[in-house]
Structures are given as structure tokens and as C-alpha cells.
Amino acid sequence: MFKHIMMPVDLAHADKLDRAMTVAADQAKHYGAKVTYVGVTAATPGSVARTPEEYADKLAKLAAAQAELHGIDAGSHPVVSHDPAVDLDDKLIEARKELGADLVVMATHLPNMADMFLPGHGGELARHSQVSVFLVRPA
């Protein structure tokens, strides 16, 4: 049913991604789909990496580790943004189109009041993407 799963990841909060990554891997195994891990970074040094190349490297390692752990076909797709705090949703929507992914799996927070002013990234992606979006909430 699905051929290509896109999974947006925030490397700065990788500890909160376990549930969603398991879901992505399980779906990939079930449908025999490929998973591409997408990360958005700024060109300035950040907490994850000090250069965009270092960031790309870390994202590639994460994909490789997932591929090995779950025995799936996995790749990575780093995106450099001028202002990631704001551009993230647009960059993810663009990346989804570019990759031609037909399912998005991503971790998201519980809905709250703040979403009225600054909607969560998962919700925005679901609203603006033409494909299925699987939002994985914390347990």
C-alpha cells in the first residue's frame, strides 16, 4: 500500500523519537517500504552539529542504525533552512513532495492550548500534505 515512508526527526530531541521510529520501521516492514529520515537544520552551529555537513553525517548515521536494527531499507535527507524555528513546516512539506513519499510518520506532542496560536508541526503537515500522515503521540 505504501512504498516510501518519510519520517521527520528532530535530532536535538532524539530521545523522544523511539515510539515513532518503531512505528515507522514496523510500517516499513509490513508494506516493504523504504524509510527516509528527514532533518531540518540551520547553517549556524547548533546543539546537534556545528556545521550543516556534520548534521548530514549524523542524520545518515541515524538512518544506517535504524536500517540495521530493523532490517529495513533506510535513507536520510537533510534540509538546511535559514530560520528552522519558523520554516520547518514548509521545509517538511517541500521535502515530502521532493521525495515522493506516500506516508509520513512523525512524533508529535499532545494537543494543547498553544496549538491555537502556533499549530504543531504534525498537524500542519497533515493539513497541507496530499498523503496519509501518521502522528505518533507520546504514551
Partner 1 sequence: MSDETDIQGIPTPEGHSDIIETDYKIGQDNIETKIGPFGLDIHNPVFVISGMTVIAFVAYALVAPGHANGLFNGVDASAVEGCEPGAFCDLGMRSYLTSTFDWFFLSAANLFVLFSLFLIVSPWGGVRLGGTDARPDYSYAGWFAMLFAAGMGIGLMFFGVLEPAYYFGTPWGDEPLGAVRPFTEDGVLIQENVAEARRMALAATSYHWALHPWAIYAVVALALALFSYNKGLPLTIRSAFYPIFGDRVWGWTGHIIDTLAVFATLFGLATSLGFGAQQANAGLEYVYGIPNTTTVQVILITAITAVALVSVVRGLDGGVKVLSEINMSIALVLLLFVLFAAGAATILSEFVTGLGAYFKELIPLSTPFGREDDGYRQGWTAFYWAWWISWSPFVGMFIARVSRGRTVREFVTCVLVIPSIVCVFWMAVFGGAAINDIIANPEASAVKAQVIDSYNPPLSLFAMLESLPLAAITSTIGIVLVIVFFVTSSDSGSLVIDTITAGGKVDAPVPQRIFWCTFEGLVAIALLIGGGLGALQAMVISTGLPFTIILLIICYAILRGLMAEKRG
Please give the size of the binding site for partner 1, defined by CB under 8 A: 35
How far apart are alpha carbons 97 and 109 in whole angstroms? 24
Minimal distance in Å, beta carbon 40 to partner 1? 9
* Binds partner 1 (CB under 8 A): choice among 11, 23, 95, 106: 11
Cα 33–135–39 angle (5° rounding)? 70
Report the candidate in 125, 133, 135 with the shortest Cα–Cα distance to residue 2.
133
* Binds partner 1 (CB under 8 A): choice among 31, 42, 93, 131: 42
Minimal distance in Å, beta carbon 32 to partner 1? 25
* Binds partner 1 (CB under 8 A): choice among 3, 19, 30, 45: 45
72 is a site residue for partner 1 (CB under 8 A) = no
Q: How far is CA 92 from CA 31, 65, 69, 70, 110, in A?
A: 23, 22, 25, 24, 20
CB atoms within 10 A of CB 97: 12
Residue ranges binding partner 1 (CB under 8 A) = 11-12, 14-15, 17-18, 42-54, 57-58, 61-62, 65, 82-87, 112-115, 118
